[in-house]
Structure 1
Amino acid sequence: MSKQFLQIHPKDNVLAALRDIDKGDVVDFQGNSFSAIERIPAKHKFTFQDFYQGDEIIMYGVLVGEATKAIVKGGRISMENCVHASMEYGVSSEQFIWEAPNVTKWKDATFKGYHRADGSVGTANNWLIIPMVFCENRNVEVLKSALQESLGYHTTNDFVVDTDALVSQYKNGASTEDLMNSEIIRSPEEIKQNRTFPNVDGIKFLTHDGGCGGFRLDSETLTSLLAGYITNSNVAGATILSLGCQNAEVKNLLEGIKKRDSNFSKPLYVLEQQKSKSERHFIEEAVKKTFLGLIEANKVERKPAPLYHLNLGLECGGSDGFSGISANPALGYASDLLVALGATTVLSEFPELNGVEQELINRCESQENKKKFARLMDTYAARAIALGSAFKNNPSPGNIKDGLITDAMKSAGAAKKGGTSLITDVLDYTEKCTKKGLNLLCTPGNDVESTTGLAGSGCNIICFTTGLGTPTGNPVAPVIKMSSNNILSEKMNDIIDFNTGTIITGEDTIKSKGEELLEYIIKVASGEEIPAAVRLGQDDFIPWKRGISL
């Protein structure tokens, strides 16, 4: 039988239930026995000492809440007896010393990637079609209907229904019986073989609701984000649709591209509708130029590359009370392995770092980064309060139901995705990753806004932990979905790629799962494994407008 509970950190004054504990069940902890005074569902936290009003609640070794009333030993921590509380933080001069894990096993390991002229290596080879403003979304959809299926890019789980085969047979006089007996289901392998451009993994259509109106800053941020997507190592080239009069100006986009890659040489076609003869001519030119770009993109083939070319985004969403015990620390261990191998990893979602700021500040390599992180966190928190919100409002109803009662409790577990390594850089939204090692990137906690930001800063693969389940993906970077528990992995096996629930049930350790995850990341980066979000065409893209989004 699996363990009944866990004290996550020696300083913790609450325990995490690893399985359901019924009222009256006896708990043995540190030589003392006591009974649960109520039912404690798995994933929730309970006390092994009496609490009084105002007492601090400690988890992961940090302050995560405050008791609002007395809680008897054996009682469950809940919204009725606990509120959010977090530690104060400040810039320190402390020098962090990191003991890297042994990576001898992967010292000479490689992945099969797409080598770019700027020296980066992609894990995918995608062509982008991007509107500069929402006015062009319809034209993007027209291009999608004209290009996607005709060039062999179907989105599916495990198969595609080839209706064209039925139409062809019908036109050739096939009988009803022949039609019923025909094979029209195609496997992913057949689909790829039937692509006009087999070395191009996808044509991605990035519609959005920005580019004009609202704050000018939002449009400028959008052009910076799009420049990040176009220069991402997973992108072969792009077709840009501009109306011509929008706030998101093409010149700003081109400046953003040059800032990220001064010798940019990917195929890039910019079309302005207001300069075109008609919409028909506009679409015709876009299709033809895109086709020519795809010819060039198809010339690039996968070749071996050292693992230090990986840029791994660290993301979570739909978290539960097990996320910070299994999936997040397993991902954190894989992050440490990659950092030790000279790669880049990126931890985002600043509202979900509330309460662990001091630990992260202490881990920053430079005083400049310590100050920048503190400033970004202060600004974000102040803006949330000014608009009538706060970090304490971050946990969703699903988080709370599954044991994440306060934002600090959620954050302390979420931060485990970043492992234990030195933090080499701190980035604001849309800033490009330029330093190897662990980076911190300012994004919202909102899943899609955050993954959108990770790819925009250069991530060429993303690991996304979840305890409740979410189909979220990204159009540019393959997204690996990690389950924190066995039940989710079994129930939603159509969207889960990697299960860490065996850490909870005792079959695996954080270390063993982290090493297994690294092997899986290498396979995905090489195109040997296709994550569910990619198969399903889950190309979620939501640029962050710099208002408050938690």
Structure 2
Amino acid sequence: MLDIIQINENDNVVVALKDLEMGQSFKVNENEVTIKEAVKRGHKVAIKDIQENENVVKYGYPIGHAKGVIHAGEHVHTHNTKTNLDGIQDYQFNQKLTENPYEQEPLFFKGFRRQNGLVGIRNELWIVPTVGCVNGVAETIIKRFVKEVGDISPFEDVLVLKHNYGCSQLGDDHTNTRDILRDAVLHPNAGGVLVLGLGCENNNLYEFKESLGEFDDHRVKFLVSQEVSNEIEAGVKLLKEIYENAKNDQRDNVPLSELKIGLKCGGSDGLSGITANPLLGRLSDFLVAQGGTTVLTEVPEMFGAETILMERAANEEVFSKTVELINDFKQYFIANNQPIYENPSPGNKEGGITTLEDKSLGCTQKAGTSMVNDVLKYGERIKKNGLNLLSAPGNDLVAASALASAGCQLVLFTTGRGTPFGTYVPTMKVSTNTPLYETKPHWIDYNAGVLLEQPSDAVLRDFIDYIIKVASGELVNNEKNEFKEIAIFKTGVTL
């Protein structure tokens, strides 16, 4: 394996693919560079002298500027590099589209076709509380149901989508809670849902029911706890009704065009933009070529690379929605008196990411090169196939939950540091480096670190095969560990 990599021929830094020692030498563009200090894996080294205020270039784009002179062979990081980002920018529509490099193939997975035509990759039974006050009641109902029924098949799991909200909320917070829970009730990975209310919450169950629109009343049931003498017995009875209606559920062949995948990263490191994120980008382009759908979120981690996405907008309307996506999130920071560019995190910096541009240029690679077909507000559901952008913060669980609620049956989550969490749909962890995969095999599902040693086309094909297996029922680690959660974006006051 190589010791370093120059990502773009115009870069004035290289990335260490393994720990480098002081005095170690290597050649880049026929020039020999000697390491002047120890540099950890994922971190950057200057390959030429970079003058004060000159741009530091990685991925072919500026990721900041030098605070002072940086000499060839020196470590390039937060101590000598500063972001170029400042304030809110103006943007112009300048479309630059490229042809998708992949062709359509006759590929299928085994999924569950629902009454409304949507397809789930899991067949689970959920209780969705309208308010956090009934989380405990919902858990008791689930336990009683499982005890009385025994074999829950064809359901593959039963769970409560516990949360802390649904009451004492106003404005956008109330709307966000209602919309995210509504989307969960309608999610095709659920073969049945009991919507459980208390009775006095402002996320009123009857109004919530109206927000659902059309739904399968054989699979979605409702219960207000204050309106029955024994809510446990009533809840178990309704779950049994759903169970009876689901007894004939089975997986059938479904074309890959029905797959909707969320793209997310967390605990990133200096290899994220070299291995795992580009792998997701190639997967995204491949799935789009099949007529499928991918969704990129984490808006604050688009800052600094947003123009690349804007250039790929399908038309001026999508471009304008992308500008609104970016600037609305910047205004959110400003309204809360917080710096717009307070990123990357301490863990990111430890892993070699220096500025927000550095992070964003790596993060947005998850979206490949495809045209951006649509931009979704937080809580909106997918309306168009192809690549979509979704408004949500960088917070791992909030963003992953937003992807699930948008209609993604599966979330792909790249990480260089590792994380065990999962949202309420399968959350596949893809490591950026092999040591993480070997250390945390109970967290990590797929090792993109092999891209440093194996051809990218072969790794992509292996990854596609694995995606199809997971879509057809193979469990990922968050499911095996029973880590399934939901988190809802909160911006305002609590009464």
Query: What TM-score, normalized by structure 1, do the two folds share?
Result: 0.86
Residue 488 of structure 2 is matched in structure 1 by 543
Deviations 1:218-241 (Å, cap 9, x if unpaired)? Answer: 122111111111111111221112
Aligned pairs for 1:366-445 (under 5 A) are 366-445=315-394
Instruction: Please tell me the residue identity of whatever aligns with 1:494.
Output: H
Give aligned pairs, total: 492
Deviations 1:236-281 (Å, cap 9, x if unpaired)? Answer: 22111211221212244223321xxx3544522211122222xxx1
Shift in Å, 1:97: 2.9
Residue 455 of structure 2 is matched in structure 1 by 509
Confirm or deny: 8 A CA contact 1:223 1:249 kept in the other structure. Answer: no
Confirm or deny: 8 A CA contact 1:361 1:374 kept in the other structure. Answer: yes
Confirm or deny: 8 A CA contact 1:17 1:42 kept in the other structure. Answer: yes
Give the alignment partner of residue 278 of structure 2, picking from 329, 336, 340. 329
Amino-acid identity (%): 34
Give the alignment partner of residue 273 of structure 1, picking from 200, 225, 228. 225
Deviations 1:393-427 (Å, cap 9, x if unpaired)? Answer: 22221111010121221111111111111110100
Instruction: Please tell me the residue identity of whatever aligns with 2:8.
Output: H
Shift in Å, 1:298: 3.0
Confirm or deny: 8 A CA contact 1:92 1:362 kept in the other structure. Answer: no
Residue 160 of structure 1 is matched in structure 2 by none
Corresponding residue SS for 1:392: coil
Change (3 A) 1:417 1:266: farther
- The question of 1:365 aligning with 2:365 is answered no
Confirm or deny: 8 A CA contact 1:330 1:511 kept in the other structure. Answer: no
Shift in Å, 1:490: 0.4
Shift in Å, 1:111: 0.6
Change (3 A) 1:359 1:24: same
- The question of 1:525 aligning with 2:471 is answered yes
Residue 102 of structure 1 is matched in structure 2 by 102
Confirm or deny: 8 A CA contact 2:333 2:339 kept in the other structure. Answer: yes
> Following the alignment from structure 1 to structure 2, what is the Cα–Cα distance between the partners of residues 127 and 197?
9
- The question of 1:234 aligning with 2:189 is answered yes
Aligned pairs for 1:73-88 (under 5 A) are 73-86=72-85
Change (3 A) 1:290 1:444: same
Confirm or deny: 8 A CA contact 2:423 2:483 kept in the other structure. Answer: yes
Corresponding residue SS for 1:363: coil
Confirm or deny: 8 A CA contact 2:130 2:166 kept in the other structure. Answer: yes
> Following the alignment from structure 2 to structure 1, what is the Cα–Cα distance between the partners of residues 51 and 428?
43
Corresponding residue SS for 2:387: strand
- Greater mean deviation of Cα atoms: 411-420 or 196-205: 196-205
Aligned pairs for 1:450-461 (under 5 A) are 450-461=399-410
Corresponding residue SS for 1:318: coil
Confirm or deny: 8 A CA contact 1:364 1:423 kept in the other structure. Answer: yes
Change (3 A) 1:54 1:236: same
Shift in Å, 1:293: 0.8
> Following the alignment from structure 1 to structure 2, what is the Cα–Cα distance between the partners of residues 539 and 381?
30
Instruction: Please tell me the residue identity of whatever aligns with 2:483.
Output: Q
Query: What TM-score, normalized by structure 2, do the two folds share?
Result: 0.95
> Following the alignment from structure 1 to structure 2, what is the Cα–Cα distance between the partners of residues 547 and 11?
45
Corresponding residue SS for 1:51: coil
Residue 237 of structure 2 is matched in structure 1 by 288
- The question of 1:62 aligning with 2:11 is answered no
Residue 166 of structure 2 is matched in structure 1 by 211
Shift in Å, 1:37: 1.1
> Following the alignment from structure 1 to structure 2, what is the Cα–Cα distance between the partners of residues 547 and 417?
31
Instruction: Please tell me the residue identity of whatever aligns with 1:273.
Output: S
Residue 485 of structure 1 is matched in structure 2 by 433
Give the alignment partner of residue 115 of structure 2, picking from 105, 114, 117. 117
Shift in Å, 1:96: 3.5
Corresponding residue SS for 2:330: helix
Unmatched segments (≥5 aa) in structure 1? 153-195
* Aligned alpha-carbon RMSD (Å): 1.8
Shift in Å, 1:90: 4.5
Corresponding residue SS for 1:95: coil
Deviations 1:122-168 (Å, cap 9, x if unpaired)? Answer: 1011111011111112212222432356656xxxxxxxxxxxxxxxx
Residue 141 of structure 2 is matched in structure 1 by 143
> Following the alignment from structure 1 to structure 2, what is the Cα–Cα distance between the partners of residues 298 and 480?
28
Confirm or deny: 8 A CA contact 2:228 2:234 kept in the other structure. Answer: no
The structure with the larger Rg is: 1
Confirm or deny: 8 A CA contact 2:102 2:285 kept in the other structure. Answer: no
Instruction: Spell out structure 1 runs of 4+ moving beyond 6 A.
Output: none
Corresponding residue SS for 2:212: helix
> Following the alignment from structure 1 to structure 2, what is the Cα–Cα distance between the partners of residues 129 and 357?
38
Instruction: Please tell me the residue identity of whatever aligns with 1:66.
Output: H
Confirm or deny: 8 A CA contact 2:97 2:311 kept in the other structure. Answer: no
Residue 169 of structure 1 is matched in structure 2 by none
Residue 417 of structure 2 is matched in structure 1 by 468
Corresponding residue SS for 1:218: helix
Deviations 1:505-545 (Å, cap 9, x if unpaired)? Answer: x2x13332222211111111111x21111111110211111
Confirm or deny: 8 A CA contact 1:96 1:365 kept in the other structure. Answer: no
Unmatched segments (≥5 aa) in structure 2? none
Confirm or deny: 8 A CA contact 1:63 1:355 kept in the other structure. Answer: no
Instruction: Please tell me the residue identity of whatever aligns with 2:113.
Output: H
Shift in Å, 1:308: 0.5
